[in-house]
Amino acid sequence: MNIRTVATTPFADQKPGTSGLRKKVPVFQQPHYLENFVQSIFDSLEGYQGETLVVGGDGRYYNRQAIQIILKMAAANGFGRVLVGQGGILSTPAASCVIRKNQAFGGIVLSASHNPGGPNEDFGIKYNISNGGPAPEKVTEAIFARSKKIDQYRILEAADVDLDQLGSAKLGDLTVEVIDAVADYAGLMESLFDFDRIHQLLVGGQFRMCIDSMHAVTGPYARAIFEQRLGAPTGTVLNGIPLEDFGGGHPDPNLVYAHDLVQILFGSNAPDFGAASDGDGDRNMILGSKFFVTPSDSLAVLAANAKLVPGYKAGLAGIARSMPTSQAADRVAAKLGIDCYETPTGWKFFGNLLDAGKATLCGEESFGTGSDHVREKDGLWAVLFWLNILAVRQESVKQIVQEHWQQYGRNVYSRHDYEAVDSDRAATLIKQVNNQMPTLPGKKFGAYEVEYCDDFSYTDPVDGSISKNQGIRVGFTDGSRIVFRLSGTGTQGATLRLYLESYEPNVAKHGLDPQDALADLITIADEIAQIRESTGMDRPTVIT
């Protein structure tokens, strides 16, 4: 077997976004495109000779081909061992778990998360470091810098590895171990949650649930954990077979894209509990019977009830949330007397807080929740956390959330997405809002008065690194907030995200539809940013 050194030229567009490099499949299929990026990763790392790398993905179109290329490049670049999930599958949280359990040097995770898959849809790649979490900005910046200069990559000439058979194979000096994709992760879940109690809940005959895996990566995990281990009836997991194109769906667990599940939970004879997860298994949506739990509320409820769960009964060190996530979790942290950290959007910003023991639970408005058990957000973990609470409290999802609001008040919240906006128009919109920054404080919009307006900047409390320009916040004197931000995960044009939040202490108003409760803020946002005019769109494409 020969190691080939292949001459190449840089691609200008390999800057990792919020979570790795995401592009359309045909972009990745260009000669040398994937190879350049993988070599740029390896060239940005030091000390991996002979070490272990974890590789796996969400099973989307091009997953298998990409893995074969990565294995041969890992062999040519001197890794000692690669652990790869059977069939090339590893959910993102499972990849994090496997990296940590095996003290691997790092991992390559192949996913474009919640974005659609297929020959003309999305693909993605990101590097995770030895703590199991996404590479921090200094690493992603080094990878990007290298990608702009790269002139060669190294690859082994060899036959493909059989990814479907468990066991070991050799690629030159590299050992490739095809591992069970589910076992380590399922074991970790069992160590955190009261499986006996959840089992009793699920087999008691009173409680019914369903989980929509959206033909994405969590199918095998959910069937093994909920149906086989916890005794939920066969068929509890919907769309449980991973497909390369997710069955033509959009594996994004929100009210728009998980509409089949929403119909079941809001239909007649609805089950007590429903959940969906995304393409790579790190996101979750939680529903009760005719009730939607916003991700921000979900984080707050999990934090407030953490002591009911074995893995967290010792208490929480702190909570962390991304800036646009509602401040519901801050209220719980204040009551518990622990710190609440506000980070930029992107799970990578939680890594240092988790490693330093400053935060135990983390969450984002973008349907992500997780803890220090791994260094990624974790969809099925959130489902198990909810089931553990439901099993102990023996109340409905709706009762638990409403009681939470009674105790803490309700942070009414919504996100409006304007997808596939022309990039120049989106940039102009943000610039126009930026220009108003000095004049907005003190300005009145009806009953609302602007208290502050800034472009969020974060100083990491652990390593002092600074991340600027993370979204424009307009804060009002009554605690309400509007946030404008451009997504860092889209692959087509720009996606404008408008985040809206107000605080409602009055229990009598807790039942209001958030779109009604936030109507004034929605109008103010349009007045400030001229969203409809600037985007040329009448309404958002997705409201959550």
Q: Looking at the annotation, which residues are catalytic?
A: 113
Helices 63-77 and 33-43 meet at what angle, rounded to 10? 40
Which residues have C-beta within 8 Å of that of residue 486, sequence separation ≥ 6?
A: 426, 427, 430, 494, 495, 496, 497
Cα separation, 270 vs 266, in Å, equals: 6
For residue 345, state whether it binds ligand G16 (rule: CB under 6 A).
Answer: yes
Which residues have C-beta within 8 Å of that of residue 333, sequence separation ≥ 6?
A: 303, 318, 319, 339, 340
Pick out residues in 366-395 that bind ligand G16 (CB under 6 A): 366, 368
Name which of 53 and 109 has its Cβ closer to ligand G16.
Answer: 109
Cα separation, 479 vs 456, in Å, equals: 16
DSSP labels, 405-467: HHHH-EEEEEEEEEEEE-HHHHHHHHHHHHHHTTT-TT-EETTEEEEEEEE--EE-TTT--EE
For residue 352, state whether it binds ligand G16 (rule: CB under 6 A).
Answer: no
For residue 364, state whether it binds ligand G16 (rule: CB under 6 A).
Answer: yes
Contact 310, 288 (CB under 8 A): no
Which residues have C-beta within 8 Å of that of residue 366, sequence separation ≥ 6?
A: 283, 295, 322, 345
With CB under 6 A as the contact rule, the residue among 63, 360, 388, 489 that binds ligand G16 is: 489
Q: What's the closest the beta carbon of residue 187 comes to ligand G16, in angstroms?
A: 24
Q: What's the closest the beta carbon of residue 347 comes to ligand G16, in angstroms?
A: 4
Selected range binding ligand G16 among 208-216, 328-336, 420-428, 487-495, rule: CB under 6 A: 487-495
Q: What's the closest the beta carbon of residue 543 comes to ligand G16, in angstroms?
A: 15
CA atoms within 13 A on the CB side of 132: 25
Q: What's the closest the beta carbon of residue 330 comes to ligand G16, in angstroms?
A: 18
For residue 252, state whether it binds ligand G16 (rule: CB under 6 A).
Answer: no
With CB under 6 A as the contact rule, the residue among 488, 512, 520, 530 that binds ligand G16 is: 488
Name which of 318 and 368 has its Cβ closer to ligand G16.
Answer: 368
With CB under 6 A as the contact rule, the residue among 282, 297, 330, 372 that binds ligand G16 is: 282
Name which of 68 and 487 has its Cβ closer to ligand G16.
Answer: 487
With CB under 6 A as the contact rule, the residue among 96, 113, 327, 388 that binds ligand G16 is: 113
Q: What are phi and psi of 246, to 5 degrees?
A: 55, 30
Closest of 523, 332, 319, 524 to residue 411, by C-alpha: 332
With CB under 6 A as the contact rule, the residue among 219, 346, 370, 379 that binds ligand G16 is: 346
For residue 58, state whether it binds ligand G16 (rule: CB under 6 A).
Answer: no
Name which of 57 and 346 has its Cβ closer to ligand G16.
Answer: 346
Cα separation, 270 vs 3, in Å, equals: 58
Name which of 72 and 348 has its Cβ closer to ligand G16.
Answer: 348
Q: Which two tokens stand for residue 256?
A: 């728009």
Contact 296, 413 (CB under 8 A): yes
Q: What's the closest the beta carbon of residue 376 comes to ligand G16, in angstroms?
A: 8
Q: What's the closest the beta carbon of residue 416 comes to ligand G16, in angstroms?
A: 13
Q: What's the closest the beta carbon of residue 496 comes to ligand G16, in angstroms?
A: 10
Cα separation, 105 vs 103, in Å, equals: 7
Contacts with ligand G16 by CB under 6 A: the residue count is 18
Selected range binding ligand G16 among 200-208, 225-233, 308-316, 362-370, rule: CB under 6 A: 362-370
Ramachandran assignment for 2, one of left (phi > 0), alpha (psi -120 to 50 degrees), beta (any other): beta
For residue 497, state whether it binds ligand G16 (rule: CB under 6 A).
Answer: yes
CA atoms within 13 A on the CB side of 503: 16
For residue 250, state whether it binds ligand G16 (rule: CB under 6 A).
Answer: no
What residue type is 503 in one-letter code?
A: Y
Strands 81-89 and 174-179: parallel
Q: What's the closest the beta carbon of residue 169 comes to ligand G16, in angstroms?
A: 30
For residue 10, state whether it binds ligand G16 (rule: CB under 6 A).
Answer: no
Which residues have C-beta within 8 Å of that of residue 205, sequence separation ≥ 6?
A: none
For residue 460, state whether it binds ligand G16 (rule: CB under 6 A).
Answer: no
Cα separation, 526 vs 175, in Å, equals: 57
With CB under 6 A as the contact rule, the residue among 14, 18, 352, 544 that binds ligand G16 is: 18
Selected range binding ligand G16 among 33-41, 62-70, 342-350, 476-484, rule: CB under 6 A: 342-350
Q: What's the closest the beta carbon of residue 514 comes to ligand G16, in angstroms?
A: 19
For residue 283, state whether it binds ligand G16 (rule: CB under 6 A).
Answer: yes
Name which of 308 and 320 has its Cβ closer to ligand G16.
Answer: 320
Q: Could you tell me how far CA 79 lies from the centroid of its own chain?
A: 28
Selected range binding ligand G16 among 35-43, 242-250, 266-274, 481-489, rule: CB under 6 A: 481-489
- Around Cβ 350, how many Cβ atoms within 10 Å? 29
Closest of 405, 413, 428 to residue 500, by C-alpha: 413
Cα separation, 218 vs 380, in Å, equals: 8
Name which of 72 and 373 has its Cβ closer to ligand G16.
Answer: 373
Name which of 71 and 483 has its Cβ closer to ligand G16.
Answer: 483
Q: What's the closest the beta carbon of residue 528 comes to ligand G16, in angstroms?
A: 20
Chain residues that interact with ligand G16, rule: CB under 6 A: 18-19, 113-114, 278, 282-283, 322, 345-347, 364, 366, 368, 487-489, 497
